[in-house]
Amino acid sequence: MMNNKELELYVHIPFCACKCNYCDFLSAPADETVQKLYMDKLTEEIKVMAQECVDYEVTTIFIGGGTPSILKEEWIAEILHTIYGRIGVSMDAEITIEANPGTLTAEKLKRYRQSGINRLSLGLQSADEGELRELGRIHTFDSFLKSFERARQAGFTNINVDLMSALPGQTAASWKNTLKKTAMLKPEHISAYSLIIEEGTPFYQWYGNQEPGHPPLPSEDEEREMYYMTKEFLEESGYRRYEISNYARPGFECRHNVGYWTGVPYLGLGLGASSYMTDRRFRNEPDLKRYLSLNLEAPNYGGLRTEEEILHVQSRMEEFMFLGLRLSCGVSVREFVERFGRNIHEIYGDVIMRMEEEELLTSREGRIMLTDRGVDVSNYVMSKFLI
């Protein structure tokens, strides 16, 4: 590495073709004029923020949203060109873009590769057309297949597919079908999350108010069956679970996400993007109109950053534990000492012993990790590490 400190970049594109019924992300449809204004401001932000990156080398870039692939491909290329020109980026950096199958073309994919993007994350969610319609997705399974094949033809050899279980009207059989159809394509990575009904979404209104006319959500037992099925089927298909909801073929774990779970500093660029640098956590302005009007050359970047918080050692210890325990390999006892100058058992000995007695944690080879039973109640286990 050119510099001795590692940094990850997250670039937020807050636009999508239409808002999905389950989505509470900071995203919305916008016309091309607004999109161009945003890209100009984002480019300006990258240039200004480069001064904070001089002591770092970027090892991963993740372009997320929203639906980044809704934008013109030349705009994505311009963003990356600006980053390369202003910030030190590792020669082997993992560079990911999220894409909706309904927005991808062969030309876009070709331009992405030319721009240095080497990892594609495709949002399939389900292979069932009825489930896709209920989610409000703009693509069909057939359009996903075409996009996947185009991506392979364009030279992408590292593709993630996002899937979602516990959907309205979904059964264990339809979920198994989605897993089968996805695994047959042999993507390098599969993210399999369970639906969470978030406040402020149509799903929250429909199911919170028990409005008639919508398919029922799976029962808790059905959801649990889907969860166990996912792990068993994907591991039989050659995917190793390396994090609670993420599976990969050997060597294709998402480096960007692993960095997040292991405490690598990251800088968020764009509307509402979050950052963690020099033991500080902060978030960018989340209001689009205000973001576009910011004078980034002014002191404090014209008020770009909100919710700024200095993380003291206690908070950093807590995050080290409850983020690191998401990984199948767990947390390193040695790394805890290196980071905090304290033995992990000095701080958490009683909790670790109690969780091991309950067979929720196990220790081996200098690491502490969740057992299979612990994964089932991971939120409970992680809450015990809040000092």
CA of residue 258 relative to chain centroid, distance = 10
**DSSP H/E element including 218:** none
Domain ranges in the chain are 5-261, 314-383
Read off φ and ψ for residue 161, nearest 5 degrees.
-120, 125
pLDDT digits (tens, 9 = 90+) for 153-192: 999 999 999 999 989 989 999 999 999 999 999 999 999 9
Q: What is the DSSP string of 54-68?
A: TTEEEEEEEEEES-G
In this predicted structure, the answer to whether residue 1 has a pLDDT above a threshold of 50 is no
Residues 6+ apart with CB under 8 A from 172: 222, 225, 226, 229
CA angle at 129 for the pair 125 and 133, rounded to the nearest 5°: 80
Task: Report if pTM > 0.85.
Answer: yes
Pick the CATH number of 314-383 from 1.10.3470, 1.10.10, 2.60.40, 1.10.520: 1.10.10
User: How far is it, in rounded angstroms, from Cα 307 to Cα 153?
Assistant: 43
Three-state secondary structure call for residue 172: helix
**How many other CB atoms are there within 10 angstroms of residue 248's CB atom?**
23
Q: Give the contacts of 130 (CB within 8 A, at least 6 positions apart).
A: 169
- 8 A C-beta contact, residue 205 and residue 154: no
pLDDT band at residue 22, thresholds of 50, 70 and 90?
low
* CATH T-level assignment (fold) for domain 5-261: TIM Barrel (3.20.20)
Window from 3-7, 137-141, 209-213 with minimum mean pLDDT: 209-213
What is the Cα–Cα distance from 297 to 303, expressed in whole angstroms? 10
